[in-house]
Amino acid sequence: MSEKYVYSLKEGDGDQRLLLGGKGANLCRMVQSGLPVPPGFILTTEVCREYMRNPGIMDTVWPDVKRYVAELEKETGKGFNDAKNPLLVSVRSGAPISMPGMMETILNLGLNDQTVQGLAASSGNKRFAFDSYRRFIQMFGNVVDEVDIGLFEGALANCRKAAGVEQDYQIPAEALEKLIVEYKVIYKKATGRDFPVDPWEQLRRAIEAVFKSWNIPRAVTYRKINKIDDSLGTAVNVISMIFGNLGDDCGTGVCFTRNPSTGENKLYGEFLINAQGEDVVAGIRTPMPISQLETAMPDIYKELCRLTKQLENAYREMQDIEFTIERGKLFLLQTRAGKRTAAAAVKVAMDMVSEGLIDTKTAVTRVSPEQVEQLLHRQVDKSAPQDEIAVGLPASPGAGAGMLVFSADEAEEWAHQGKAVILCRPETSPDDIHGLFAANGVVTSRGGMTSHAAVVARGMGKPAVCGCEEATIDLDAETLTTRGRTFRKGDTVTIDGSSGRVLAGEAKMIDAEFSDDFKKLLSWADEAAKQQVWANADTPEDARRAREFGAKGVGLCRTEHMFMGVDRLPVMQRLIVALKDSGEGQEERQDALAKLKVMQKEDFIGIFRAMDGLPVIVRLLDPPLHEFLPKEPNVLEELAALEKAGKGASAEAEALRTTLDRIHQLHESNPMLGFRGCRLGMIYPEIYEMQINAIFEAVAELTQAGVTVKPEVMIPLVGTRAEMRFFREMADRIAEEVMRTTGVKFTYLVGTMIEVPRAALVADQLAEYAQFFSCGTNDLTQTTFGYSRDDAEGKFLFQYIDKGVFKENPFSELDRDGVGGLVKLAVEKGRSVNPNLSVGICGEHGGNPASIAFCCSVGLNYVSCSPFRVPVARIAAAQAALGVLK
C-alpha cells in the first residue's frame, strides 16, 4: 500500500481511475481544466481495500483527512463546525468502474443544532437550513446506522399532512424544526443513542459507511451482473456542498451530451428549481426537461451547453453530467461516460466517426457485445390491435411483457420459477437492482428520464416506462389503477419503452431489424478482428439466417438433428433395430440406409447452396443410438395395450418386442462416455459411409450446377491416431469413388473435434491425418472436469459459484486454466505438424464474449456460434483483437 492515502482535486491525476475511482479522477481532470467544480479531496481505493482487512487503517489516514479539511476551509472561507459560517460536505462513493446509485452517499454533513443556525443566518433562508438538516439526519441515519428509511418517510408524510401541503419543498421552516426533533427521537429509538453532533465524528463514520457500502447486497449484485471485479474497492470523495435548494435562483439537474435513448446529438436531461440532486435521480419529484432551462435561466443554460460540449470533446465520449446552480452560479459535480441504449450506442459511435472525434476502431469498442444482443430484442407490432391503458415517459426502448409484480424480491422469485414479470413501482431505488435484472421491464408512476429506474433499465437493455402519473400504484394492495381499470398482481401487461405506452395483455411482437449504421459498424468490426465468426446451422434456414447475420462459414452442422423429423425418425429407428452384430437384417439395414442417404443429401444440398462460396463443416453422427429409439415405458405401454386387445401375437407386437430388445442392448450406464461418436462409425462403418456419400454426392451435384461448395467432414469424439487414420482413409476413398462416378472434381477437408482431453494431448498425432481441428468445448468441459452438465447444473454448480469456487459457469464461459489449457495445447501440438492447420471452436462458448477473447489469444481461426449470436460474436472478436475484451 502506498504512503499517500488522500489527494486533493488539484493533486490527483485524471488517468488514475483505479486509485482515485472514476468519479474522483474525472473531478481532478475537470478542476485542472479550469471547470467550475466545488473543492474537495479523495480517499483512495487502496484505503478501502485495506479497510476491509483492517478497519484500524482509519487511525493512520485520519490526520491526512483533517489536513485536507483544513485546506477546504481555506478555499471556501468557511469553517468545519463553525457555528456562524459552517462548511458542509458531501461524502460520496466512486468506484473505478461506474456503478451508478449502487453505493452510498451522504449530503449536508456537518450540520448540528448550532451550525444549522449559522447556515440559516449565512444563507438568509431558515427554511433551506432546516430542510438541509432534516435531509442529513435521514440520510445519515439510514446509511450509517441502518435506520429504516420508512420511519423517516412516514414522519415526513405526517408533517406534510399537518402542514396542509403536498410537496416536501412546501413545508414551512417551523414545521421542519419540529420534524427534526421527531427525526432525532426516531434515530435514538432505533440505535439506542443520540444523533451525533460532532461533525468530525459524522465525517469519520460517513467515510467508513461508504467504504462498507462496497459490499452491500445491491452493489454485490450489480458487480455480479456486470462482471466487475470484487477486489477493486471504492474511493470516497469528500466535496464541499453546493446548494441547489436555496431559492428560485438555484437548482439541480442531470444531463447527457446526447440522447441516451436515441443517440441524437442534442443536450438531453432534466432539472428542478430549488432542489437537491437526490430529488432528481430518486424520482421523488418529476423534473422538467433540460430544454426549459433555457427559458428559466438563459445564461446558465448557455454556459451549461458550452461546458458539456467541452467535456465531450475532451473525453471524446458521450458524457453524463450532474450539475447544481447556487445563487445563479453553475457548478459541475460529476461527469462520466453516459449509460445508453444499444441503439443509441451505435448512433453515437457512428456520428462521432463522422464528426472526426473518434476513428472506426474506437467506434467498434463503443458498442458492447451485450448491447449488440439487446439490438436483437423484439418490438411491439404497431399494426396489431392494442389495448392501451396508460402512457408515461419512454425511458428505455424495447418491449417486454409479463405478469405484474410489485416488489423486487417477488420479481426475482417469480423469474426463478420461469415466469415472465414486469416490475411495477411508484419509483425504484438502488435496492431494487435484483428485481430490475430479473424482470422483463419496469413501469413507475413517478420519476423522469434520468431517474434511477430509467438509467438502470437503459444500462441493462430492459424496456422502461417512467413517470406514468395517470396510473396509481398501490404497493399494499398490489394493484395498478388507470383509466377506471384495476390490474392486480399476476395480470399480464406489455410495456413499450420506445413509445412510453403500457398495454393490457401480451401484445404481438415483431423481430428487430438492423439499421444501416449497425451493419456498417459490424463491417468495421470484421476489419479489426483477427478471427472469423462462423455459425452452427443444421438446416438451410439456419444457414441463410447465419449468412444474413454475417457468418463467414458454418462451423458445425449436426447431422443427427436431420434424423429427428417425423418422417425420418421411423426410418432411423428401423436402421438401429436392423444393426445386429450377428449380421441379421442386412436387407432391412441397406433399405433404411438408402432412404436416409436421400434425405441427408437433400439437406446438404440446401445448406451448401445457402452457403455458396463459404465453408461448411458437417459433423457425422455423434449421439448414442438409443437417443433415436422410443422410451422404454412408452413401448411397454403400447405392447400392453396390444396384448389387452388380444393382439399380442401380431406383427406389430413382435416389432415392439424387437425394439424393446434393442433398447435393452443399447442401454448404457454413462452414455456420454459410451457408444457414440466415431465409435459408432468404427463398429457400424456403413452409417458414416452413407453420410459421407451423401455429402460428396451433394457437392458433386451442386458443383455441376455452378455452386461453389467448400465441404469439411468432421469426425466426432476422436481420441487416437488410429481412429483418425481410419476415417480419413474412408473419406478419401468415398470422395475418389464419387468423383469417378460423377466425373466432377471437387476439394474437401477431413478433420476432427477436440472434445476429449486425450485428443488435445495427442493433437500432433491426430494432425498427421486431420486437416482441421474444431474444439467442441461443451463435451471437452464435461470430460475435463468429470462433470455431467445436466447433473452439475442441477445439483451443485450454482452453489459453487456462490461459494466462489467458480466466478462463472464453466459451461457458459470457458475455463481458461483447464479446458482453455487443453485448447491451447491442441493448437500448439497440431500446428507443430501442420503450421497451416485451421482450428476453431464450435461449442456454446463460441458465442460468449469472454471465451471469444481467449480464443483470439491462442490463435484460433474462427469461432462458431448460433446464428442469432453471430453479430454479438463479430463485435466481441473485434474487441478482443483491439485489446478491449480480454
Q: Report, as residue numbers or ranges, the catalytic residues.
A: 452, 842
**How crowded is residue 145: how many other Cβ atoms within 10 Å of its Cβ?**
16
Q: How many CA atoms lie within 13 A of 625 on its CB side?
A: 25
Q: How do strand 532-536 and strand 862-865 relate by DSSP bridges?
A: parallel
| C-alpha span between 207 and 818 (Å, rounded) | 42
> Element (H or E) spanning 703, and its range?
helix 685-704
Q: Which amino acid is at 867?
A: P
Cite the DSSP H helix spans in 146-258. 149-163, 173-191, 199-212, 217-226
Q: What are phi and psi of 511, to 5 degrees?
A: -70, 145
For residue 558, give the 3-state DSSP assignment.
strand
In the numeric block, the cell 432525532 is attached to 184
DSSP string, 39-92: -EEEE-HHHHHHHHH-TTHHHHHHHHHHHHHHHHHHHHT-BTT-SSSB--EEEE
Cell, residue 391: 402512457
- Please report the beta strands in 757-832, taking only residues with DSSP state E, as ranges in sequence order: 772-775
Question: How does strand 421-425 pair with strand 399-405?
Answer: parallel
**C-beta separation of 748 from 709 below 8 A:** no
Distances (CA, A) of 526 to 153, 346, 715, 852, 885: 54, 16, 29, 14, 15
Question: Which among 295, 310, 293 is positioned nearest to 257, based on CA atoms?
Answer: 310
Residue given cell 445439483 in the structure block: 795
Provide the 3-class DSSP secondary structure of residue 409. Answer: helix
> Which contacts (CB < 8 Å, 24+ apart) does range 201-205 have?
202/109, 202/110, 202/140, 203/65, 203/69, 203/89, 203/91, 203/109, 203/110, 203/238, 204/58, 204/62, 204/65, 205/144
Give the 3-state secondary structure of residue 693: helix
Q: Phi/psi of residue 827, each to 5°? A: -60, -50
- Helix 199-212 with 45-53: angle, nearest 10 deg: 80
- At residue 429, φ and ψ (nearest 5 deg) are -130, 170
Burial 30-58 (b: 16+ CB within 10 A, else e): bbeeebebbbbbbbbbbbbbbbeeeeebb
| Cβ proximity of 401 and 493 under 8 Å | yes
